[in-house]
Amino acid sequence: MPKRPLPKNKQKEIALERIKTLFKQADGIFSKNKSLANRYVTLARKIAMKAKLKMPREYKRKFCKHCYKYLRSGVNARIRTRDGKVVISCLECKKFTRIVLR
């Protein structure tokens, strides 16, 4: 007898837990192995896309939108405020993201 698929809300709940775990692991391993931290970000993004889940805001700002690398302030990211915006510059790909302050 085939297994029944999980309901959508349960799938999204599990996906969110996995994303949280992956970002926690990426944060812990970043100083030792940057490529593994970047791989965790890639996996978290794929899980979110598969589950049709929006990436939570707190995690969305922890990786570059252009090269998808894990960002850490002072190491491979520069964070500045300018004209009512937070500007996050990725030092890996030299691109930046602006976030409006409210």
| Calpha distance 4→68 (Å, rounded) | 34
pTM, whole model, 2 decimals?
A: 0.89
| Calpha distance 102→47 (Å, rounded) | 30
CB 79 within 8 A of CB 87: yes
Question: What's the CATH code of the domain at 20?
Answer: 1.20.5.420
Residue 50: its pLDDT value, please? 95
Q: What is the pLDDT of residues 55-93, one digit of tens each?
A: 999 999 999 999 999 999 999 999 999 999 999 999 999
Q: What is the pLDDT of residues 46-61, one digit of tens each?
A: 999 999 999 999 999 9
Domain-located, residue 95 = yes
The domain total for the chain is: 1
Domain-located, residue 40 = yes
| Calpha distance 64→56 (Å, rounded) | 14
Residue 68 is part of which domain span? 8-100
| Calpha distance 78→97 (Å, rounded) | 11
Domain-located, residue 79 = yes
Domain-located, residue 1 = no
Domain-located, residue 30 = yes
| Calpha distance 24→100 (Å, rounded) | 26
Q: What is the pLDDT of residues 5-50, one digit of tens each?
A: 888 899 999 999 999 999 999 999 999 999 999 999 999 999 999 9
